[in-house]
Structure 1
Amino acid sequence: MASSIMEECFIKRSQQKKKTSPLNYKERLFVLTQEKLSYYEYDQDKGRRKSLRGTVDLQKVKCVEKVYPEHHAPTERLYPFQVIYDDGPLYIFAKNGEIQSEWIRKLKEIVRYNKDLKQKYHPCFWVDGQWQCCQQEVKQAMGCRVLQGLSKDRGGSGKPLPPTPVEEPAVQTLSLEPPKPSLSVGMTVIAEHEYIPLSAQDLELKKDEEYTILEMPDANWWRARDKYGREGYIPNNYVVQAGNVLERYPWYCKNMNRSQAENLLKTENKDGGFVVRDSRLKAGQYTVSLFSKISGETAGSCRHYNICTTSQGQFYLADKHFFSTIPELITYHQHNAAGMVSRLKIIVSNRAHAPSTAGLGYGMWEINPRHLTFIKELGNGQFGVVKYGKWQGQHDVAIKMIKEGSMSEEEFIEEAKIMMKLCHENLVQLYGVCTKQRPIYIVTEFLSNGCLLTYLKEGLKQHPTNIQLLEMCKDVAEGMAYLESNQYLHRDLAARNCLVDTNGTVKVTDFGLSRYVLDDEYTSSEGSKFPVRWSPPEVLLYRKFSSKSDIWAYGILMWEIHTLGKLPYERLDNQAIVDQVSKGYRLYRPQLANERVYSIMKSCWPEKAEERPTFQELAVNVQDLLYEFQ
């Protein structure tokens, strides 16, 4: 019998080799030898292994990598890793990060010379017939994330990845899946925000009250019942599954990044002000952001403390005072600094800021113009004047008044019904249209900090940090990855077509609108209005649009962000840009971008479209870089 290299009790997830197989989790004793990874039943009381339950031939292993934990995973399932072999993924859950890393390191060392090692893998779980990271529905589908550092001497084949199709997809192939697949009909949810019904079909939500899901007919609106028996439609991004304990605490700010936390805390300017937020870099983990004024300083500063977990599943912060739950940990540190720069004195919250709904009520896309109040002009765009206003006197909206003759209106009106279903925290939400009069109106979410380009030039209150700039890039990449996953092209991605919310979140706007421009100057690459400076060679020369042309434009947008709004190719005219870019000329590295940041930009600019990454890969690469900066 081969000698054992490592042994450890892990939780193993069932492999669901058949569609009807149940999903379960069982504790097994894993034994690693030079040739095999085996797992056994284990008698905890007697401390000995029992019958063999499965074996993996290590010569057949194609990949060993971490997996992002499930959303709100229990403590015993926060450190998963995967072993990919012929039968598919074997998911194993370690007790802590140290054990997880040690087993991954050892397994990789053993299999590094295997044939057919994967160049791409899936960083999230296969659940209910779908990869959670990229929504592909084939279990054998190629991974969506490129393995870092794979090279021939580590066992890679050295073969290039197969080209990605670059044909423009039909809009009708949108696959708008509900954003919370873990919820189902019959489950109980809790309202995270107040919701006043916007149409007769809607149901009022009261914060912290429970509701039962009755039907899920739409990607963004669900039919529900309240405790009094009343039924109606609710926006599903206003509720969370009952049992998600942290959602009930005012100090928990789920969708908040580091820069947003710092801005919020500095605005409050209170010593000991704090928030608890999801770690955007480590799924399933949490960070405490704390503002303090040491020795009477007036400006103050922010510190960020990761909530750590012991091998027994207990939580602790800077000093190792252990707690069974995060609320218990927070309560303790509200009275004791215990290793931090200050105790947690004042709860700071952004809960008043509710997310945008997909439309102004379930099934509403045609808006009565009489319900709109125009307050002030925001600017003049490609299609006409844009104004800030109110819907029904209370909801902030932006209203695009479409100049007659500037847009193919009938085609757009049909498209608007589909565009309204696109709902993501990094996309400007389309609320509806007014089409019964001329000019027609496009009514969207209003973002108070305005255009990203202007914000970069004038709106930043202080010199931005590398983290702040990268978080802007990450916001755009995640919004575009959502469009990409729904096979939707932007065609005019640039800083001028992104907006900035009150808390600094960047959202992409005007996606797909360039398809309806009737201006011949705009639609010709020789005209001054065509976005030549953001276009790749295949668009400049052949008018060939694809998701890969959006990738090129994203690289230019990253450059805009890291130059604080400079004009790309500022010394060249349009014709010179077409000539030079076609010959291989590329933008220089901005002073605020280090080589790693610049390498991500350059990865968007290969001449061959199929050599460019996907937005999913770009979002991961920017996230990894953020992790290094922090």
Structure 2
Amino acid sequence: MGNFCRKHCICMQRCAPWLFQESDDGDNTAQAGVDAGIPLPPPRDQKPTNRHNFVALFDYQARTIDDLSFRTGDKLEVLDTSPEGWWYATLLLDSGSTQPGQTLSGYIPANYVAPVQSIEAEPWFFGPITRADTEKQLLCPGNQAGAFLIRESESQKGEFSLSVFDGAVVKHYRIRKDEEGFFLSRKKTFKTLNAFVDYYTNNSDGLCVKLSKPCIKKKVPTPFDLSYNTADKWEIDRNSLQLLKKLGSGQFGEVWEGLWNNTTPVAIKTLKPGSMDPKDFLREAQIMKNLRHAKLIQLYAVCTLEDPIYIITELMRHGSLLEYLQNDAGSQLHLPEQIDMAAQVASGMAYLESQNYIHRDLAARNVLVGEHNVYKVADFGLARVFKLENENVYEAKHETKLPVKWTAPEAIRSNKFSIKSDVWSFGILLFEIITYGKMPYSGLMGYQVIQKLDKGYRIPKPDNCPNKLYEIMLKCWNAEPKDRPTFETLQWELEDYDMDSTCYTDANAFVK
């Protein structure tokens, strides 16, 4: 039980240890059914041995007749956690508060809830978000002076940071912990973070301002599937889709904003006939669907039984990063926002790195932009199965064509791709970000780029590029793949860009 949380919510182990316990024989039997691809009925008639109460962190509107709608703060009793990512639950409502015809049981996305009385259930706890993201969220309209959140520390694993909006800027405090409890200053310690928050809500006592309301949570997580029923069966009926608005087009087809099941906004990529072999695509897509990370576009479903092939993914309303950088929105971006988008891409790529998966076509055109400055890597793995046809690709071997200006020299010469060739491409992506979407190696043809790279040429530092960022690019473009940084290192460098001890306020300096 609890496969989803074991894989994706390790931070819940301290507050919901039952999710991480080994299953008994009955659970093993049930899991065997799941592994065999047989949907198991929820325990409607038989009371499960383990029932646990959760609280909703976000609103959820049912997508199918099997789903359960709920609102932020609702209490739910989870009856079955064996469907990965989708749990079966019952709403816990006060007597007389139900509406006629209201559904009280059904499937819920597991990443929308947290165990009652856990730190994850607290409205002020934001988990492992970066300092840059923290500041963006606290500075959003609607947050007043005293708005705050507690997050997991980036630099000190197992510790926490308090971030507070003082009405003008965001200030950060390290929450330290010893055998006595949590503290900003050793003059005052607390057994729990709840007690810590209660105290500083009533007393500034060293903080820039008393804590008021938790930061507004605007970023709603993406369910990892369209529904419980599509978690395993993901070849769906194309008649369940409506194409509403064309978002763009390219060499392989078009991208549409669409609607699934009359309930769920999705993106639909329609591929030109002959763009790829359906069998090759399905083999790759099966892997892609199981790659799950907040900075990767989630593949939901496919329609491959007739042309055109449809690829259904989560919807990112602002389109590709390349177009976003080049249009009016890009003109509003400054270095902090550019570093943040690069860090988000590095985070998604670090996950692919950890899964031993190679993107093969990392570029600004394959990063998508969502609401609230969210950036996600798209089209990972598709370069393996697309039949590329355009002037910006280089044919290294029979039936293998590459976007040469983004491709590492060793991949061009011998068609050898690795996560290190993706790192090279990431360096080109950094160039695209800092130049607001300019073409790399401007004025050069593909064969000229190859010749110059072999002689040690590298893109010169753009005029508006800080030396520190250009140094990161040059590391990505090291001639020896083994000497290029890992994406984990790149993520850390970008998330900590220009961060030093002055970013955190010492509470001791304020204690009277």
In the TM superposition, residue 340 of structure 1 has moved relative to its aligned partner by 3.5
User: Do structure 1's residue 459 and structure 2's residue 333 form an aligned pair?
Assistant: no
Report the equivalent of 1:599. Answer: 471
Q: Relative to structure 2, which stretch is displaced further, 403-412 or 452-461?
A: 452-461
- 2:457 equivalent to 1:585: yes
Once the two structures are superposed, the pairs formed by residues 119-518 of structure 1 within 5 Å of their partners are 188=52, 190=54, 191-196=56-61, 198=63, 209-212=75-78, 214=80, 216=82, 218=84, 221=85, 224=88, 226=90, 234-241=108-115, 243-245=117-119, 247-254=120-127, 256-268=129-141, 270-272=143-145, 274-278=147-151, 279-293=153-167, 301-309=168-176, 311-317=178-184, 321-350=188-217, 353-361=220-228, 362-457=231-326, 458-460=328-330, 462-466=332-336, 468-518=337-387
**SS of alignment partner, residue 209 of structure 2:** coil
Distance 1:203 1:271, change over 3 A: closer
Percentage identity across aligned positions? Answer: 34
Q: Which moved more, 1:339-348 or 1:598-607?
A: 339-348
Which residue type is aligned with residue 334 of structure 2?
P
What is the CA distance between 1:539 and its match in structure 2?
1.9
Gaps of 5+ in 1: 1-69, 76-126, 129-184, 294-300
C-alpha displacement at 1:269, in angstroms? 5.1
Distance 1:550 1:277 in 2: 34
Task: Report Cα offsets for 1:316-355 as digits up to 9, x if no partner.
Answer: 4589654333233333333443344433334332167232
* 8 Å CA contact retained: 1:287, 1:304: no
Higher RCO (CA-CA < 8 Å; seq separation 6+):
2
Stretches of structure 2 that go unaligned for 5 or more consecutive residues are: 1-9, 22-48, 93-103, 504-512
For the 8 Å contact 1:265–1:273, the answer to whether it is kept is: no
2: CA distance, partners of 1:302 / 1:489: 40
2:483 corresponding residue in structure 1: 611
Counterpart selection for 2:446 from 555, 571, 574:
574
Post-superposition offset of 1:518: 2.2
The residue identity in structure 2 corresponding to 1:541 is R
Matches of 1:462 and 1:384, distance apart in 2? 30
1:187–1:477 CA distance, 2 compared to 1 (3 A): farther
1:403 Cα deviation after fit: 1.3
1:225 Cα deviation (Å)? 5.4
Distance 1:373 1:418 in 2: 26
Letter aligned with residue 131 of structure 2: R
Quote the offset at 1:487 in angstroms: 2.3
Between the aligned partners of 2:142 and 2:106, the Cα distance in structure 1 is: 41
Query: What does residue range 34-183 of structure 1 map to in structure 2 within 5 Å?
Result: 71=11
Instruction: Name the aligned partner's letter for residue 287 of structure 1.
Output: S
> In the superposition, relative to structure 1, how do residues 222 and 409 fare at CA in structure 2: closer, same or farther (>3 Å)?
same
User: Which has more radius of gyration?
Assistant: 1
Cα–Cα, structure 1 residues 264 and 401, in superposed 2: closer, same or farther, change >3 Å? same
1:450/1:197 CA distance change after superposition, 3 Å: same
SS of structure 2 residue aligned to 1:374: strand
The alpha carbon displacement at 1:442 in A equals 0.9
In the alignment, the residues of structure 2 paired with residue 262 and residue 622 of structure 1 have an alpha-carbon distance, to the nearest angstrom, of: 15
Instruction: Quote the Cα distance in structure 2 between the aligned partners of 1:448 and 1:344.
Output: 34
Distance 2:138 2:339 in 1: 20
Partners of 2:363 and 2:304 in 1: CA distance:
28
Equivalent residue letter for 2:379: D
**DSSP 3-state at the match of 2:190:** coil
* Equivalent residues, number: 443
Alpha-carbon distance in 2 for matches of 1:479, 1:212: 30
Contact persistence 1:378–1:386 (CA under 8 A): yes
Measure how far apart 1:524 and its partner are.
5.0
TM-superposed CA distance for 1:359, in Å, is 4.1
CA RMSD of aligned residues (A): 3.6
The corresponding residue for 1:93 is none
Counterpart of 1:343 in 2: which secondary structure? coil
Q: CA deviation at 1:187?
A: 8.1
| Cα contact 1:189–1:239 (8 A) shared by 2 | no
Cα distance between partner residues in 1 of 2:409 and 2:53: 49
Sort the Cα spacing of 1:319 and 1:470 in 2 relative to 1 into closer, same or farther, 3 A: farther
Q: CA deviation at 1:244?
A: 2.4
**Distance in 2 of aligned mates of 1:628 and 1:240:** 33
Q: Is the 8 A contact 1:319 1:340 kept in 2?
A: no
After alignment, is 271-280 or 201-210 more displaced? 201-210
Say which structure is richer in strand.
1
The verdict on how the C-alpha distance between 1:374 and 1:317 changes in structure 2, with shifts beyond 3 A counting, is farther
> For residues 463 and 173 of structure 2, what CA distance do their matches in structure 1 show?
31
Q: Bigger shift: 488-497 or 341-350?
A: 341-350
Question: How far apart are residue 515 of structure 1 and its match?
Answer: 1.7
CA distance in 2, matches of 1:522, 1:211: 57
Match of 1:27 in 2: none
